[in-house]
Copies of this chain bind each other. A is one copy, B any other.
Amino acid sequence: MSRSTPLYHQIADHLRTSIESGKLPPGTKLPSTRLLAEEHAVSILTALQALRLLEQELIVEARPKSGFYVSSRRNAAESVELKPLDIAPLDEQAEVHLSILGTPCKIRLDLANGEAALYPVKRLGILMRQLVYRDSSLLGNHVRGTGYPPLKQQIVRRAFDYGCDLDSRELLITNGCIESLALALRAITKPGDGVAVESPTYFVILQMLRNLGLKAVEIPTSEAGIDLEQLEKALAGGGISAIISIANANNPTGVTLPVNAKLELIRLAERYDAVIIEDDVYGDTHFAAVRPKPLRALSDKVILCSSFSKTLAPGIRVGWIAGGRWSSKISSLKYTSSMATPIYPQAAIAEFLRTGSYDLHLRKIRQTLAKQISKMRAAILQHFPDGTNVSDPSGGYVLWIKLPTDTTSTRQLFELARREGIGIAPGHLFATDERFDDCFRLNAGFGWNKDVEQAIKTLAHMVK
């Protein structure tokens, strides 16, 4: 600490450390100003200044005639008007809707993936068969370690091309991006912590937080991306140890955060000592001329999670995580939650990446998605009632639609659509409350044809 730091800042720093480390848990009464003054050999006024500083930071609260107490996290969050997720079961309807999501139906506009023909499954299948034929003994070998080295090499090489300087020793191959996110959260947080998420956000993230006993702090997110002012308020409220961000081709909003906003997001995280967990699973599906940089390219403190499920093979279940200084903790958690990731799928992907077909394939998939998204978007604007708002995605598979006021609840729309064999993702799944009940998400990944067009018309009709 520099010598010029005011004394009351030094005392505040000291208390803040004790509070943040959990040594002084929420609700603890702090020493009186008199005691603090004695302990630090300062005047009572200086001690009071230190406490007032922490009060401004919402870390402590004054209780009339009683003294200063460590704020409870809940109060801290409430004071900035952001409602943390109560760690409670989902409502019954949400459970039902989630369990139906992704189950077969005629027109599959519910998830964020394409039909098998969108992916190089034949080539991958051939590679897989060759690998098994060449050496079926891999099936008989115990799997250990952090992943198949040639695959790690390919990931490091590709990440370098889009600005990330990864180290293969920090890389861990997982059973998909969901496992990557769950491991990152478990490495960084403890039950009861707050985790800031974009709102709306991918519903599995909300369920994951609930299942880990974490509190979702939902930060409003618009066409301009996450609201950084609201985020700062929430972080200043305390109790937030991680931020999950889908900064490129966000699910469900389709937004790619501009570089300036990415830098500000990183600055905020560092300032308030929260770790950014980046879900970059849609980064490779961008529609721009240049691949957008992940947050990780701008700060090596970001934990980068991704997978091959959105670009190569949704059914192969191979993801990865670059854990930086948390990588050994993350490896240990992986070892005790699923031991290791099987080798053949990793080897097939490594071979696909090595032989260079990936870039060619990416170009194709990006063009296809951009076209399908644009057609579906036009059809929605044409058929849905005036005042319907449709996102304009910068990548990925999905559109986020906001209905005009006084139309259907999308909970209801979900049920009605399902009866007609049309799957959609209703808005209430993307938040912990009703705030998006007038929104829903559509998947453009399954192609554009007469049937899909008819489905859009049917949905529009239901809304009217």
Residues of A within 8 A of B (CB): 102-103, 111, 113-119, 121-122, 124-125, 128-129, 132-133, 136-145, 174-176, 178-179, 182, 186, 190-191, 204, 207-208, 211-213, 309, 313-317, 332-333, 335-345
Contact = CB atoms under 8 A, between A and B. Distances in A.
Contacts of A211: 186, 332-333, 336-337
A128 to B, nearest CB: 5
B125 A139 contact: yes
The 10 closest A-B pairs by CB, nearest first: A116-B140, A125-B136, A116-B137, A208-B336, A119-B140, A121-B140, A175-B338, A121-B139, A142-B314, A139-B313
Contacts of A212: 336
A315 B138 contact: yes
Contacts of A121: 136-140
Contacts of A191: 190-191, 213
A178 B336 contact: yes
Nearest to A133: B129
Contacts of A141: 116, 314-315
A116 to B, nearest CB: 3
A452 to B, nearest CB: 18
A102 B144 contact: yes
Nearest to A141: B315
Contact of A336 (B128, B204, B332, B344): B204
A102 B146 CA distance: 13
A207 B129 contact: no
Residue among A144, A333, A338 facing the most chain B CB atoms (10 A cut-off): A338
A455 B186 CA distance: 41
Contact of A122 (B128, B136, B182, B341): B136
A339 B317 contact: yes
Contacts of A103: 144-145
Given A140-B117, A336-B204, A342 B316 contact: yes
